[in-house]
Structure 1
Amino acid sequence: MLARQRIVQVVRTQPVRALSQGSSLNFFQKQRLPANTIVRFVPQQTAWVVERMGKFHRILPPGLAILLPVLDKIQYVQSLKESAVEIPSQSAITADNVTLEMDGVLYIRVVDAYKASYGVEDAEYAISQLAQTTMRSEIGQLSLDHVLKERQVLNHNITTAINEAAEDWGIQCLRYEIRDIHPPANVLEAMHRQVSAERSKRAEILDSEGHRQANINIAEGSKQSVILASEALKLEQVNMAAGEAEAILMRAQATAGGIREIAKAINETPGGKDAVALQVAQDYVKEFGKLAKESNTIVIPSGMGDMGSWMASGMSIYNNLSKTLTPDAAAKKLLEQK
């Protein structure tokens, strides 16, 4: 059993060489090496490494190639196309001590067929191991949250580290892509709970924001309603004041016109003053009669039965007013008594 494992290990670590016609396989093309038939046609995007008497001689470009029989041998066939190398699943521990199972895909291309043939024995094994160790090293510097959030940065760092080491092998790493990340079951369950709690939190925040906005809208509506009502009341009061002022002005103008007409009539009409005196006496008697109806207490003049003396009292009132007031003022007093 041990001897069998030793044979498998030796076969895996030996370089790919053509010991006989069609006896070995190439790493990239996975095809048997072509035999030396003197005239050969090299396919496009393929580099054939030729050895002459066991020593590197030249690299055949695409197209027609002439080989010397027996002396020349096509030792390696390198594909210059981009190739995908699957990186098997492996364990890696993050900076916060979480074990992750990860696998990925590495995209590489041969840029120097000579280095790819003689710089490394097994390019696929070497590049695969380098990708795994680099990925574990990069993940060990990040926490779980950063690993999940910064996969693009992690891919870039791994690609840069692989290119620095694979430069001597004539291989260029174009990109590295992490395919799957499998955290432990308990961590995955905790992440699900965290996501659920975060969504519930956001839902409650949105609900509270909705209530807040609704209350603000109601308050703004009430504010606008009060403002509009106060403005309407103000406008109404202004209009009422303007109407009252206009009414007072019109009444004053009418009173002034009436006073002028009465004064004019008193002065210009013959017997006008006597008529006014008679009117004052009549009004005096009329108002005295109203006083008896509207009050429980009444002052009765001593000469109650002498109607002539009442009339004389009314006439004396007019005469006294006419002596102290102008005709216009007397007419105004007369209108006020009415």
Structure 2
Amino acid sequence: MENFILIPIIFFGLVILASSFFMVKQQTAAIIERFGKFQSIRQSGLQMKIPIVDKVAGRLSLKIQQLDVIIETKTLDDVFVKLKVSVQYKVVTESVYDAFYKLDYPHDQITSYVFDVVRAEVPKMKLDDVFVKKDDIALAVKAELNDAMMDYGFDIIRTLVTDIDPDPQVKIAMNRINAADREKTAAQYEGDAQRILIVEKAKAEAESKRLQGQGIADQRREIARGLEESVDVLNRVGINSQEASALIVVTQHYDTLQAIGSETNSNLILLPNSPQAGSQMLNDMVASFTASNQIGEAMKNQKKKNDE
């Protein structure tokens, strides 16, 4: 009979002893209450409490935690936009009591402050400025949260604006604007390229014409030099300048006829081209040169008489 009484006592004693010890994980704080009143804060490791009298009221993680808050607001240019703000925070080790007893729902409190700051800052900016100044928005949120949450034992490590999502219609319009700007830039580059090609082509044509004119001038200069030499040769054999010039012209006439005849597909006809035309042309040219010289001499004599 005594054994049956002893066994429950031993079992009850073991349960009481086991409940006197508890484990606290690394980067965690345990809050101990005694009869509902705060007693102590226990850190990581094996801890001991008075059974029945003391209890673990709660545990707080001392790790850095992240809360993502999505806010919809309107910009200065009346565009609705959704922002995703990520808040990284942790419980201050020295303020575990305040974090546990002063604030029941820290997530809700942080979310409220984020909403308040973002909806105060973004309506002051145009949509493009929201993308450019997202770091300024994040800093404003962090400054407000630090001032507010430090009293509750929370330290705000960092705030980040991780996403900016305008209304779908606005995104479509922005993409169209960007596409139009790119097409405009491409058209400007293409126009510049065409202009450069035209200018360079004009320069090339001008240079070609210059070289062509220079070639013709050189050709004519050589022809004149050759004619001069031919006239000198003919003069040495007793042919005067008029006859020599006429003979050279007739010779060139027949050279031209020969060149035309060598071209099988030529449709050019040089008139006159009869066999008698050569002698007639020669006589006409000699007579013309002689008459021209006579007229020139008469005009010179008349001028001398007038001067006297």
Give TM-score, length-normalised by structure 1. 0.50
Q: Percent identity?
A: 20
Question: Which residue of structure 1 aligns with residue 76 of structure 2?
Answer: 95
Residue 49 of structure 1 contacts residue 76 of structure 1 at CA under 8 Å; is this kept in 2? yes
Q: What is the deviation of 1:78?
A: 0.5
Residue 48 of structure 1 contacts residue 76 of structure 1 at CA under 8 Å; is this kept in 2? yes
Q: What is the deviation of 1:126?
A: 1.5
Is residue 132 from structure 1 mapped to residue 115 from structure 2 by the alignment? yes
- Secondary structure (helix, strand or coil) at the match of 2:142 reads helix
Q: What is the deviation of 1:57?
A: 4.0
Partners of 2:215 and 2:91 lie apart in 1 by 90
Q: How does 1:264-279 map to 2 (within 5 A)?
A: none
Match of 2:165 among 163, 167, 181: 181
Partners of 2:62 and 2:101 lie apart in 1 by 16
Residue 134 of structure 1 contacts residue 162 of structure 1 at CA under 8 Å; is this kept in 2? no
Partners of 1:50 and 1:110 lie apart in 2 by 17
Is residue 83 from structure 1 mapped to residue 65 from structure 2 by the alignment? yes
Question: Which residue of structure 2 aligns with residue 144 of structure 1?
Answer: 127
- Secondary structure (helix, strand or coil) at the match of 1:78 reads strand
Match of 1:46 among 10, 17, 28: 28
Match of 2:88 among 101, 107, 110: 107
Question: Which residue of structure 1 aligns with residue 51 of structure 2?
Answer: 69
Partners of 1:215 and 1:98 lie apart in 2 by 42
Residue 79 of structure 2 contacts residue 166 of structure 2 at CA under 8 Å; is this kept in 1? no
Q: How does 1:223-242 map to 2 (within 5 A)?
A: 223-224=203-204, 226-227=206-207, 230=210
Partners of 1:103 and 1:76 lie apart in 2 by 31
- Secondary structure (helix, strand or coil) at the match of 1:140 reads helix
Structure 2 segments unaligned to the other structure (5+ residues): 1-17, 229-237, 244-282, 289-308
Q: Alpha-carbon deviations, 1:93-138, whole Å to 9, x = none?
A: 4334444455544332222323311332322222222222222222
Residue 159 of structure 1 contacts residue 175 of structure 1 at CA under 8 Å; is this kept in 2? yes
Question: Which residue of structure 1 aligns with residue 280 of structure 2?
Answer: none
Residue 156 of structure 1 contacts residue 175 of structure 1 at CA under 8 Å; is this kept in 2? yes
Q: Alpha-carbon deviations, 1:139-198, whole Å to 9, x = none?
A: 232233323443343233223321221111222233244546353xxxx43553353244
Q: What is the deviation of 1:240?
A: 10
**Structure with the higher fraction of residues in helix conformation:** 2
Is residue 211 from structure 1 mapped to residue 191 from structure 2 by the alignment? yes
Larger Rg, first or second structure (1 or 2):
1
Partners of 1:124 and 1:191 lie apart in 2 by 31
Partners of 1:50 and 1:73 lie apart in 2 by 6
- 1:239–1:67 CA distance, 2 compared to 1 (3 A): farther
Q: What is the deviation of 1:46?
A: 1.0
Counterpart code for 2:159:
R
Partners of 2:65 and 2:145 lie apart in 1 by 15
Partners of 2:19 and 2:139 lie apart in 1 by 45
Q: How does 1:112-123 map to 2 (within 5 A)?
A: 112=93, 113-123=96-106
Residue 115 of structure 1 contacts residue 170 of structure 1 at CA under 8 Å; is this kept in 2? yes
Question: Which residue of structure 1 aligns with residue 279 of structure 2?
Answer: none
Counterpart code for 1:130:
Y
- 1:126–1:163 CA distance, 2 compared to 1 (3 A): same
Q: Alpha-carbon deviations, 1:286-313, whole Å to 9, x = none?
A: 99xx9xx9779xxxxxxxxxxxxxxxxx
Is residue 157 from structure 1 mapped to residue 140 from structure 2 by the alignment? yes
